[in-house]
Protein backbone atom coordinates (compact mmCIF):
# COMPACT_ATOMS: atom_id res chain seq x y z
CA UNK A 1 0.00 0.00 0.00
CA UNK A 2 2.87 2.38 0.82
CA UNK A 3 4.36 1.77 -2.61
CA UNK A 4 1.01 2.44 -4.29
CA UNK A 5 0.61 5.68 -2.34
CA UNK A 6 4.10 6.79 -3.30
CA UNK A 7 3.51 6.03 -6.98
CA UNK A 8 0.16 7.85 -6.85
CA UNK A 9 1.77 10.89 -5.28
CA UNK A 10 4.48 10.95 -7.92
CA UNK A 11 1.93 10.63 -10.72
CA UNK A 12 -0.13 13.43 -9.24
CA UNK A 13 2.96 15.61 -8.99
CA UNK A 14 3.91 14.70 -12.53
CA UNK A 15 0.42 15.49 -13.77
CA UNK A 16 0.49 18.86 -12.07
CA UNK A 17 3.92 19.53 -13.48
CA UNK A 18 2.80 18.70 -17.01
CA UNK A 19 -0.18 21.03 -16.60
CA UNK A 20 2.07 23.82 -15.32
CA UNK A 21 4.53 23.17 -18.12
CA UNK A 22 1.74 23.50 -20.67
CA UNK A 23 0.90 26.90 -19.20
CA UNK A 24 4.42 28.07 -20.14
CA UNK A 25 3.50 27.78 -23.80
CA UNK A 26 0.18 29.61 -23.55
CA UNK A 27 0.99 32.04 -20.74
CA UNK A 28 2.00 35.68 -21.06
CA UNK A 29 5.14 36.43 -23.03
CA UNK A 30 8.24 37.91 -21.44
CA UNK A 31 7.97 41.62 -20.92
CA UNK A 32 10.99 43.52 -22.15
CA UNK A 33 11.10 46.27 -19.53
CA UNK A 34 13.13 48.68 -21.61
CA UNK A 35 11.28 48.49 -24.93
CA UNK A 36 12.87 48.96 -28.35
CA UNK A 37 16.45 48.36 -29.42
CA UNK A 38 18.60 51.46 -28.95
CA UNK A 39 16.77 52.77 -25.86
CA UNK A 40 19.97 52.53 -23.78
CA UNK A 41 22.31 53.70 -26.55
CA UNK A 42 25.10 55.84 -25.09
CA UNK A 43 24.52 54.64 -21.52
CA UNK A 44 27.04 52.70 -19.44
CA UNK A 45 25.71 49.98 -17.13
CA UNK A 46 27.69 48.06 -14.49
CA UNK A 47 26.27 44.65 -13.51
CA UNK A 48 27.82 42.59 -10.73
CA UNK A 49 27.79 38.82 -11.22
CA UNK A 50 26.99 39.18 -14.92
CA UNK A 51 28.58 35.95 -16.14
CA UNK A 52 25.65 33.63 -15.26
CA UNK A 53 22.00 33.43 -14.26
CA UNK A 54 20.09 36.66 -13.73
CA UNK A 55 23.14 38.84 -14.29
CA UNK A 56 23.91 37.28 -17.64
CA UNK A 57 20.28 37.54 -18.78
CA UNK A 58 20.18 41.19 -17.65
CA UNK A 59 23.39 41.92 -19.54
CA UNK A 60 22.03 40.28 -22.70
CA UNK A 61 18.85 42.36 -22.67
CA UNK A 62 20.60 45.66 -21.93
CA UNK A 63 23.09 44.95 -24.71
CA UNK A 64 20.13 44.44 -27.03
CA UNK A 65 18.85 47.83 -25.91
CA UNK A 66 22.16 49.42 -26.89
CA UNK A 67 23.87 49.84 -23.50
CA UNK A 68 27.60 49.64 -22.91
CA UNK A 69 27.68 46.85 -20.31
CA UNK A 70 30.50 46.35 -17.81
CA UNK A 71 30.51 42.83 -16.35
CA UNK A 72 31.91 42.94 -12.81
CA UNK A 73 32.78 39.29 -12.06
CA UNK A 74 34.89 37.35 -9.58
CA UNK A 75 36.17 34.79 -12.10
CA UNK A 76 37.60 36.66 -15.08
CA UNK A 77 38.01 33.53 -17.23
CA UNK A 78 34.36 32.53 -16.79
CA UNK A 79 33.31 36.11 -17.43
CA UNK A 80 35.31 36.28 -20.68
CA UNK A 81 33.72 33.00 -21.77
CA UNK A 82 30.23 34.33 -20.98
CA UNK A 83 31.01 37.57 -22.82
CA UNK A 84 32.04 35.59 -25.90
CA UNK A 85 28.80 33.62 -25.78
CA UNK A 86 26.75 36.79 -25.42
CA UNK A 87 28.43 38.32 -28.46
CA UNK A 88 27.75 35.19 -30.53
CA UNK A 89 24.12 35.02 -29.38
CA UNK A 90 23.52 38.63 -30.33
CA UNK A 91 24.95 38.09 -33.81
CA UNK A 92 22.93 34.89 -34.27
CA UNK A 93 19.77 36.76 -33.26
CA UNK A 94 20.30 39.03 -36.24
CA UNK A 95 21.80 42.03 -34.51
CA UNK A 96 25.31 43.49 -34.83
CA UNK A 97 27.87 42.24 -32.35
CA UNK A 98 28.60 44.35 -29.27
CA UNK A 99 31.00 47.10 -30.15
CA UNK A 100 29.99 47.10 -33.80
CA UNK A 101 29.40 50.39 -35.57
CA UNK A 102 26.75 48.79 -37.75
CA UNK A 103 23.83 49.14 -35.42
CA UNK A 104 22.51 49.89 -31.99
CA UNK A 105 23.91 46.92 -30.04
CA UNK A 106 26.00 47.93 -27.07
CA UNK A 107 29.58 47.23 -26.07
CA UNK A 108 30.62 44.54 -23.60
CA UNK A 109 33.49 45.01 -21.12
CA UNK A 110 34.79 42.51 -18.56
CA UNK A 111 36.35 43.64 -15.27
CA UNK A 112 37.44 41.57 -12.29
CA UNK A 113 35.46 42.17 -9.09
CA UNK A 114 35.39 39.95 -6.01
CA UNK A 115 32.73 41.17 -3.59
CA UNK A 116 34.14 38.90 -0.88
CA UNK A 117 37.25 41.11 -0.80
CA UNK A 118 37.12 44.79 0.16
CA UNK A 119 40.58 45.12 -1.38
CA UNK A 120 39.19 43.88 -4.72
CA UNK A 121 36.19 46.21 -4.49
CA UNK A 122 38.45 49.21 -3.89
CA UNK A 123 40.79 48.26 -6.74
CA UNK A 124 37.84 47.77 -9.07
CA UNK A 125 36.34 51.17 -8.17
CA UNK A 126 39.71 52.91 -8.57
CA UNK A 127 39.98 51.47 -12.08
CA UNK A 128 36.39 52.50 -12.85
CA UNK A 129 36.98 56.08 -11.70
CA UNK A 130 40.19 56.34 -13.72
CA UNK A 131 38.87 54.84 -16.95
CA UNK A 132 35.12 55.46 -17.07
CA UNK A 133 33.88 59.00 -17.77
CA UNK A 134 30.32 58.11 -16.75
CA UNK A 135 28.14 55.47 -15.11
CA UNK A 136 24.43 55.65 -15.88
CA UNK A 137 23.21 52.48 -14.13
CA UNK A 138 24.65 50.31 -11.35
CA UNK A 139 22.95 46.92 -10.90
CA UNK A 140 23.89 45.18 -7.64
CA UNK A 141 23.01 41.68 -8.80
CA UNK A 142 25.68 39.24 -7.56
CA UNK A 143 24.93 37.09 -4.56
CA UNK A 144 25.60 33.91 -2.65
CA UNK A 145 22.81 31.68 -1.37
CA UNK A 146 22.66 29.46 1.72
CA UNK A 147 26.32 28.47 1.79
CA UNK A 148 27.94 26.62 4.71
CA UNK A 149 29.44 28.93 7.32
CA UNK A 150 32.50 30.62 5.86
CA UNK A 151 34.09 34.04 5.98
CA UNK A 152 35.16 36.60 3.43
CA UNK A 153 38.76 37.75 3.05
CA UNK A 154 38.02 40.46 5.63
CA UNK A 155 36.44 38.09 8.18
CA UNK A 156 32.75 38.73 7.50
CA UNK A 157 30.13 35.97 7.31
CA UNK A 158 30.06 35.19 3.60
CA UNK A 159 26.39 35.88 2.77
CA UNK A 160 26.24 39.16 4.70
CA UNK A 161 29.71 40.11 3.43
CA UNK A 162 29.01 39.54 -0.26
CA UNK A 163 25.30 40.27 -0.56
CA UNK A 164 25.32 43.40 1.60
CA UNK A 165 28.76 44.73 2.62
CA UNK A 166 30.55 44.21 -0.72
CA UNK A 167 27.79 46.00 -2.58
CA UNK A 168 27.55 48.66 0.14
CA UNK A 169 31.20 49.62 -0.36
CA UNK A 170 30.98 49.35 -4.15
CA UNK A 171 27.98 51.67 -4.32
CA UNK A 172 29.45 54.24 -1.95
CA UNK A 173 32.75 54.40 -3.86
CA UNK A 174 30.91 54.89 -7.18
CA UNK A 175 28.36 57.44 -5.94
CA UNK A 176 30.42 60.39 -7.15
CA UNK A 177 30.54 58.99 -10.69
CA UNK A 178 26.82 58.22 -10.61
CA UNK A 179 26.03 61.77 -9.43
CA UNK A 180 28.18 63.34 -12.14
CA UNK A 181 26.38 61.15 -14.71
CA UNK A 182 22.87 62.05 -13.47
CA UNK A 183 20.14 61.29 -14.22
CA UNK A 184 21.37 57.86 -13.21
CA UNK A 185 19.97 54.77 -11.51
CA UNK A 186 20.95 52.14 -8.95
CA UNK A 187 19.15 48.79 -9.00
CA UNK A 188 19.46 46.35 -6.09
CA UNK A 189 18.47 42.69 -6.41
CA UNK A 190 16.95 41.35 -3.18
CA UNK A 191 14.56 38.45 -2.53
CA UNK A 192 11.11 37.76 -1.13
CA UNK A 193 12.93 35.67 1.44
CA UNK A 194 13.80 38.92 3.25
CA UNK A 195 10.55 38.23 5.13
CA UNK A 196 12.29 35.53 7.18
CA UNK A 197 15.30 37.65 8.15
CA UNK A 198 16.07 40.06 10.93
CA UNK A 199 18.93 42.44 11.65
CA UNK A 200 20.60 41.24 14.83
CA UNK A 201 23.06 44.00 15.66
CA UNK A 202 24.51 41.86 18.44
CA UNK A 203 25.61 39.16 15.99
CA UNK A 204 25.80 40.56 12.43
CA UNK A 205 28.72 38.24 11.73
CA UNK A 206 26.74 35.15 12.88
CA UNK A 207 29.53 34.04 15.21
CA UNK A 208 27.15 33.18 18.04
CA UNK A 209 24.81 31.14 15.85
CA UNK A 210 24.51 30.40 12.14
CA UNK A 211 21.56 29.25 10.10
CA UNK A 212 22.31 29.47 6.38
CA UNK A 213 18.68 30.13 5.43
CA UNK A 214 18.08 32.87 8.01
CA UNK A 215 21.44 34.48 7.23
CA UNK A 216 20.57 34.67 3.54
CA UNK A 217 17.25 36.28 4.46
CA UNK A 218 19.10 38.73 6.72
CA UNK A 219 21.35 39.79 3.87
CA UNK A 220 18.36 40.32 1.60
CA UNK A 221 16.58 42.38 4.28
CA UNK A 222 19.79 44.41 4.56
CA UNK A 223 19.61 45.05 0.79
CA UNK A 224 16.17 46.61 1.20
CA UNK A 225 17.08 48.70 4.25
CA UNK A 226 20.20 49.89 2.43
CA UNK A 227 18.14 50.88 -0.62
CA UNK A 228 15.66 52.87 1.41
CA UNK A 229 18.33 54.71 3.40
CA UNK A 230 20.34 55.41 0.25
CA UNK A 231 17.23 56.80 -1.45
CA UNK A 232 16.78 59.19 1.48
CA UNK A 233 20.40 60.33 1.22
CA UNK A 234 20.17 60.79 -2.56
CA UNK A 235 17.12 63.06 -2.53
CA UNK A 236 17.67 65.99 -4.88
CA UNK A 237 20.68 64.45 -6.67
CA UNK A 238 18.79 63.01 -9.67
CA UNK A 239 20.19 59.58 -8.79
CA UNK A 240 17.48 57.02 -8.02
CA UNK A 241 17.75 53.67 -6.28
CA UNK A 242 15.18 50.89 -6.21
CA UNK A 243 15.15 47.28 -5.03
CA UNK A 244 13.47 44.21 -6.49
CA UNK A 245 12.77 40.55 -6.02
CA UNK A 246 13.12 38.47 -9.22
CA UNK A 247 10.93 35.57 -8.08
CA UNK A 248 12.11 31.95 -8.00
CA UNK A 249 14.52 31.56 -10.88
CA UNK A 250 16.41 28.56 -12.26
CA UNK A 251 20.03 29.64 -11.77
CA UNK A 252 23.19 28.24 -10.21
CA UNK A 253 22.56 30.32 -7.08
CA UNK A 254 21.35 27.18 -5.32
CA UNK A 255 24.59 25.26 -5.83
CA UNK A 256 25.03 24.86 -2.07
CA UNK A 257 21.60 23.19 -1.70
CA UNK A 258 21.80 19.40 -1.44
CA UNK A 259 19.06 17.50 -3.26
CA UNK A 260 18.93 13.69 -2.80
CA UNK A 261 19.82 11.81 -5.97
CA UNK A 262 16.48 9.95 -6.12
CA UNK A 263 14.52 13.18 -5.87
CA UNK A 264 16.61 15.14 -8.35
CA UNK A 265 14.76 14.12 -11.57
CA UNK A 266 11.40 15.12 -10.09
CA UNK A 267 12.86 18.33 -8.66
CA UNK A 268 14.32 19.24 -12.05
CA UNK A 269 10.96 18.64 -13.70
CA UNK A 270 9.08 20.68 -11.10
CA UNK A 271 11.61 23.51 -11.24
CA UNK A 272 11.29 23.62 -15.02
CA UNK A 273 7.53 24.05 -14.67
CA UNK A 274 7.36 26.29 -11.59
CA UNK A 275 10.50 28.42 -11.69
CA UNK A 276 11.19 31.38 -13.94
CA UNK A 277 13.86 31.23 -16.59
CA UNK A 278 16.76 33.67 -16.09
CA UNK A 279 15.36 35.79 -18.92
CA UNK A 280 11.98 36.02 -17.17
CA UNK A 281 13.61 36.69 -13.81
CA UNK A 282 15.75 39.49 -15.25
CA UNK A 283 12.82 41.53 -16.55
CA UNK A 284 12.35 43.65 -13.44
CA UNK A 285 16.08 44.48 -13.31
CA UNK A 286 15.93 45.55 -16.97
CA UNK A 287 12.74 47.51 -16.33
CA UNK A 288 14.21 49.45 -13.41
CA UNK A 289 17.43 50.07 -15.31
CA UNK A 290 15.88 51.36 -18.51
CA UNK A 291 12.17 52.10 -18.49
CA UNK A 292 10.94 55.70 -18.73
CA UNK A 293 8.02 54.60 -16.52
CA UNK A 294 10.22 54.66 -13.41
CA UNK A 295 12.14 57.83 -14.18
CA UNK A 296 12.43 59.77 -10.90
CA UNK A 297 11.02 56.88 -8.81
CA UNK A 298 13.25 56.03 -5.84
CA UNK A 299 13.26 53.97 -2.65
CA UNK A 300 10.62 51.51 -3.87
CA UNK A 301 10.36 47.70 -3.92
CA UNK A 302 9.37 45.95 -7.16
CA UNK A 303 8.36 42.50 -8.40
CA UNK A 304 7.28 41.58 -11.93
CA UNK A 305 7.86 45.18 -13.03
CA UNK A 306 5.33 46.51 -10.48
CA UNK A 307 5.73 48.24 -7.14
CA UNK A 308 4.94 45.98 -4.18
CA UNK A 309 4.35 46.54 -0.47
CA UNK A 310 6.99 45.80 2.15
CA UNK A 311 6.70 44.39 5.65
CA UNK A 312 7.13 47.00 8.42
CA UNK A 313 10.56 45.63 9.40
CA UNK A 314 11.86 46.49 5.92
CA UNK A 315 10.65 50.08 6.32
CA UNK A 316 12.10 50.76 9.79
CA UNK A 317 14.06 53.98 9.29
CA UNK A 318 15.92 53.77 12.60
CA UNK A 319 17.17 50.25 11.81
CA UNK A 320 18.12 51.34 8.28
CA UNK A 321 20.18 54.27 9.60
CA UNK A 322 21.87 52.17 12.26
CA UNK A 323 22.71 49.46 9.72
CA UNK A 324 24.16 52.11 7.41
CA UNK A 325 26.34 53.58 10.19
CA UNK A 326 27.64 50.16 11.26
CA UNK A 327 28.25 49.11 7.66
CA UNK A 328 30.38 52.21 7.10
CA UNK A 329 32.62 51.16 9.96
CA UNK A 330 32.73 47.50 8.88
CA UNK A 331 33.93 48.32 5.35
CA UNK A 332 36.34 51.03 6.48
CA UNK A 333 34.58 54.13 5.14
CA UNK A 334 34.57 55.46 8.70
CA UNK A 335 37.21 54.52 11.24
- Euclidean distance between CA atoms 113 and 121, whole angstroms: 6
Q: What Rg, from alpha-carbon coordinates, does the chain have?
A: 20
**Catalytic annotation, pick one of 196, 210, 216, 301:** 216
Provide the sign of the torsion angle of the four alpha carbons 135, 239, 40, 79, taken in this order.
positive
Quick one: which H or E segment has residue 137? Answer: strand 137-140
Consecutive H or E run containing 184 = strand 184-189
Whether the CA torsion 264, 267, 273, 277 is positive or negative: it is negative
Other C-beta atoms closer than 10 Å to the C-beta of 124 total 23
Alpha helices by DSSP H, listed for the chain, are 2-26, 53-64, 76-92, 118-131, 158-160, 167-180, 212-233, 264-274, 278-281, 283-290, 317-330
CA 35/CA 55 separation, integer angstroms: 19
* Nearest alpha-carbon partner for 106 in 44, 17, 22, 24: 44
Separation between Cα atoms, residue 109 and residue 107, nearest integer Å:
7
Alpha carbon of residue 35 to chain centroid: 20
Catalytic residue flag (residue 210)? no
Give the catalytic positions in this structure: 216
Amino acid sequence: MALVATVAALLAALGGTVWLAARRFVGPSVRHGGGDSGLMHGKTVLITGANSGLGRATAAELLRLGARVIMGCRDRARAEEAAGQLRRELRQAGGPGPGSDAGEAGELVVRELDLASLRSVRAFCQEMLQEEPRLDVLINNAGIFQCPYMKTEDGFEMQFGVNHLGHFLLTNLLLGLLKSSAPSRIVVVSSKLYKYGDINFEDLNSEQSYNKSFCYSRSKLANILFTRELARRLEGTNVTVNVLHPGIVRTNLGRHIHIPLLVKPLFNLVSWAFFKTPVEGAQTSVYLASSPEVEGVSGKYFGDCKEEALLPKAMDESVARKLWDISEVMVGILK
